[in-house]
């Protein structure tokens, strides 16, 4: 694992470029799958995960490393209760 030290007051341009390289996508908080669809209905919309069946009101903005971590976690313990 690689530690990236971000110093905010050092070089903002470098930070921005690194952030740009790590594309953030909305993923399922349970399994890390980006394969979500949003169902607007009733009083509030819910996210549905096609992969694990998660249904809930929030998703996670994650980059590739975070997605990998979530997936590893999910695969390690296939029962995750909301
Ligand atoms: Zn899922």
Torsion region of 37: left, alpha or beta (phi above 0 gives left; psi -120 to 50 gives alpha): beta
Report the share of the chain in percent with pLDDT over 70. 71
Contact indicator for 54, 78 with CB cutoff of 8 Å: no
In the chain, the N- to C-terminal Cα span, in Å, equals 28
Ligand 1 centroid from CA 47, angstroms: 10
In this structure, which residues have their CB less than 5 angstroms from ion ligand 1? 28, 30-31, 33, 49, 51-52, 54
pLDDT digits (tens, 9 = 90+) for 28-57: 999 999 999 998 877 778 999 999 999 999
What are the domain boundaries of the chain? Answer: 23-76
Q: Global pTM?
A: 0.64
Ligand 1 mean position, distance from CA 69 (Å)? 13
pLDDT for position 66: 95
Structure tokens at 72: 């590893």
User: Cα of 28 to ligand 1 centre, how many Å?
Assistant: 5
Numbers of helices and strands, H then E, in the chain: 2, 5
- Chain-wide mean pLDDT for the chain? 81
Q: Which helix (H) or strand (E) holds 37?
A: strand 36-39
């Amino acid at each position: 694992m690689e530690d990236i030290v971000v110093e905010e007051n050092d070089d903002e341009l470098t930070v921005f470029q690194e952030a740009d390289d790590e594309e953030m996508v909305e993923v399922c908080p349970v399994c890390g799958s980006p394969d979500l669809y949003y169902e607007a209905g009733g009083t509030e919309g819910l996210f549905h995960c096609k992969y694990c069946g998660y249904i809930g009101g929030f998703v996670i903005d994650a980059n590739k490393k975070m997605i990998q971590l979530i997936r590893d976690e999910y695969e390690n313990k296939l029962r995750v209760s909301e």
